[in-house]
Structures are given as structure tokens and as C-alpha cells.
Structure 1
């Protein structure tokens, strides 16, 4: 049986360990921020979404007006995503 002090130390070390950000979590946060910034744009308006090199978001929209709106607010969206993760996880957003 392990002593309680060992288990508590292990729990503290896991709490300080930073987990790696994956594509699904970036996608989820992107659409939450997008919904907050542009409430009339939903997940159906962005049929293609991909994160390459874990730094750049590529998305293709259903209409050019939607891509223009996302492009106008891409710096604010990028800032909100990085603020959520607490690190520089996204460097650029490319919209087509």
C-alpha cells in the first residue's frame, strides 16, 4: 500500500504538468469563440476545418461573406484561443 504523502505529491506534479493541445480541442474552442464573436455564423457554415503543425488553422467557409467576417476578426479570435489555452498555441488563421 502506498503512503498518502506519495499520492499527494504525485497529484501535485500532475496538476503542474501542461497537457498538449490537440486538434479537437482547438476546433472546439475556435467554434465557441466564433459563436461569441459572430453569433450568426455556426458550425455548418464552416464545412472544412484543419489545424496544421499545431500552429495554423485552415478553414473553408460556405460563402465568401462568411470568410470575410472571419478574416476581419481573425486576430481577436486568435487572441481568445491563445488566452483560453494559456499559451501561444495558434500563430495564424487562414480562411478561404
Structure 2
């Protein structure tokens, strides 16, 4: 295994993590923006108003996207274990 193979596996790993975490992060961003607009319109500056809905949305987003996350990480681990089993690319 040479440096190019290591960089390829690192790139695939980083890409898999970004793809797996993307839906939950996008959901947290959308919920945060909606709450920020609501706070700006009503001038309510309660700290728990920002955290509690985001935590609930993130939890529900993780539960909803768990099959997608599992499939992404399973595909990555299959490629890595095949690479280990073959002794290189």
C-alpha cells in the first residue's frame, strides 16, 4: 500500500462522514434559522427556546436518517475490510 492508496482511503472516509452527517446538520441549520427568525420577529430572547427545539429536531433527524447513515458507513467499512483482506488495492 503506497501513499496514494492511503490518501484515497482517507478521502473516502472523510467523504463518507460528511455524507452521513449531512442530513442531520442540514436539519439543525434549518431549525436554527427558523428559530432565529421567530426570535427576531417576536423579540423573545429566551435561551432555552434555541436549544430545546434543535435538540429534539436533531434527535428525530438521527432516528429518521439512521438507515442512510448505516448504509453509508457499512459501504465504507466493506471497502476498507476488503482492502485489508486483499493486502492492498
Q: TM-score, normalised by structure 2?
A: 0.35
Structure having the higher strand fraction is 1
The structure having more radius of gyration, on CA atoms, is: 2
Q: TM-score, normalised by structure 1?
A: 0.33
